[in-house]
Structure formats: C-alpha cells, structure tokens
Amino acid sequence: MHDSHNTVNIFEGRPIRRGPASKPRASREAAPDGDKVSHYERMARQAQLACRRAELEAERCRRELAHTLRVATIGELAPSIVHELNQPLTSVLMNACAAERFLAADSPNLDEVRTILRDIVDDDRRAGEVIRRLWTLLKSGSVELLDVDLNLTVAEIGKLVGSDAALRGVTVEFELVEGLPSVRGDRIQLQQVVLNLVVNGMDAMRSVEPRKRRLTIRTLTTDRQTASLEVCDSGIGIDVARLDQVFQPYFTTKRDGLGMGLSIARSIVEAHGGRLWATNNTGPGATFSLTLPLKKGRG
C-alpha cells in the first residue's frame, strides 16, 4: 500500500511528499472590499482638504497683493493728496489767526468770530474726509460682501483723485445714471478697481495736449441683471493686438509700472461674478468697461 499523500518521481524514483493544499496567492493578498473603499474615501477627503487649503492660501495671497497695489497706487497720488490736505489745514491756520485778531480788539465782532469758527469746523471736516478716504483704501482686512452703490463708489474715488487730476491738467466728467441699483460685493475692492482704471486713464494721456485731456466716468444699466461702469480716456489708445494682453500679469506699458494693476482688477471683478475688458474708442483713447451682477432679489 502506498501512502496516499506521497507520489513517486518517475525520473529519480524518490517519493515526493505534498504538504496541505494552499490558497492561491491572489486570494491571500486581496484586501476586503470594505477596506478598499474606506482607503479611497480617505484619499479623496485628503485631496479635497489639500485643494481647499490651496484655494484659501491663493485667496490670501491675492488679497495681500491687492492691498500692496492699493498702497502703491496711493503712493503715486501722494503729491496731490498732500496738496488736498494742505488746503484745509492752511485755511484753518489763517482763520484761527484772524479770529485771534478779532478777539484782541477792544470790541470784538463776535458774529464775525462765529463765522470764522464755522469755517474752521468745515475745513477740519474736509481734511478728515481726505484722511478717511485714504484709511478706507489703505487698511487691510477680510472681504466684506455688502450692497455697494457704484455711483457712490465713483464719487468717492473722484474726490480722492480730484487734486491729482487738476495737477495733471485732466478734466474729469461724470455721467452717472440715476437710480442705479446696488451690486453685491466688497466696497474696498471695487473702489480699488475704479481707482486703478481712473489712474491708468490719466496716465494714458500724458503725451496728449493738456486741453485735450478728458476722462469720462459713467455708470449705466444694460439689463435687469447687471450694472455697468465705463472709464473713457482721450489718450493714445491701445494696440489692437494688446487689448487683452494688458490684463496679463507683469504686462505693462509704463516705464515704472509693475504690470499687476489690471490683472488684479480683472480678478476682483471676476470674483464678483462680473467682466472687465478694454476697447479702443472711435475717436482718440480707449475705454475700460466692467459689468457686475445686481444684488439678488431684483429683476
């Protein structure tokens, strides 16, 4: 009788002992389906978290860069800002000296002194308003989505650049549509966009005769869903091949430009669900146009 667990090697005549039957290799190494699913789910969650962290970091960097560009733009306006602050402060000093002289008289004219004091208060408010507008643009903080009045935004920027425009010999005209609905957005960021477009428009007219330097800022509604803003200059225009290139990072036609202003402006507008583009005018100059969605609940 032969052992049922042994066989004979017919070539060497030696018995070969077989061990217990073993499972196939693939079966031994295969992980349960539940473990596979949970592993892939963990990987997917980790990838989502990494993407979210990258998005938040990119947004933080964009905000910091936008703030840096705001500061740089304000720096360009420094001479006109000094001039605008110097006017009310000089007036305050002169009125204070005049009031002192009136009060030194044997019979001071108190009505005249009261008028002078009111003028001093008005001049102080003018200076304070300049500082407030500067502080609003210079401060750094988180994005605040509010109902924004584009007409008011344009008016505030107009006040901020008024002295600079006068020093440059630029005539600024406002064509603001009445009853313009509010848009939803961050007021400081939208102010930055308008400021950038206005300063660029004035820069574009450096080589133009002073009497022909005209900048028009207008607001309008194109439909029931969007509000529009246009900044039109009478400068030299833009090379047709570069109409979209001007929005690319680091592209600039200015000798001392950073090439980031329009790129950041477009990213801000697009983050608000709008569009920003440039066209050449039929006459001299170019127009930068933007559209922004109206706040929800209208239309």
Q: Which residue has the higher pLDDT, 61 or 151?
A: 151
Closest C-alpha to 272, from 98, 144, 133: 144
Mean pLDDT over each residue of the chain, to the nearest integer? 78
Q: What's the pLDDT band for 289 if we cut at 50, 70, 90?
A: very high
Q: Which residue has the higher pLDDT, 76 or 278?
A: 278
Strand partners, 28: none
Cα–chain center distance at 207: 28
Q: Is the pLDDT confidence value at 167 over 80? A: yes
Closest C-alpha to 268, from 19, 107, 69: 69
Closest C-alpha to 202, from 239, 240, 157, 244: 157
**Least reliable range by pLDDT among 6-10, 165-169, 214-218, 283-287:** 6-10
> What pLDDT is stored for residue 111 in this prediction?
86
- For the segment 101-125, the average pLDDT, to the nearest whole number, is 85
Q: Which residue has the higher pLDDT, 29 or 294?
A: 294
Tell me if residue 284 falls in helix, strand or coil: coil
* CA 148/CA 184 separation, integer angstroms: 6
Q: Which regions of the chain does DSSP assign to beta strands (E)?
A: 6-8, 15-17, 145-148, 171-176, 183-186, 214-221, 226-232, 275-280, 286-293
Tell me if 181 sits within 8 A of 295, measured CB to CB.
Answer: yes
> What pLDDT is stored for residue 28 in this prediction?
47
Neighbours of 236 (CB within 10 A): 16
CATH topology classification for 62-293:
Heat Shock Protein 90 (3.30.565)
Cβ contacts of 252 within 8 Å, gap of 6 or more: 258, 259
What would the pLDDT profile of 11-54 be if each residue is shown by its tens digit? 445 554 555 555 555 444 555 565 666 777 777 777 777 777 77
Task: DSSP letter for 210, please.
Answer: G
Q: Which residue has the higher pLDDT, 151 or 257?
A: 151
Tell me if 74 sits within 8 A of 136, measured CB to CB.
Answer: no
> What pLDDT is stored for residue 10 in this prediction?
45
> What pLDDT is stored for residue 154 in this prediction?
93
What would the pLDDT profile of 182-222 be if each residue is shown by its tens digit? 998 888 888 889 988 998 899 899 889 988 999 999 999 87
> What pLDDT is stored for residue 290 in this prediction?
94
- For the segment 226-250, the average pLDDT, to the nearest whole number, is 87
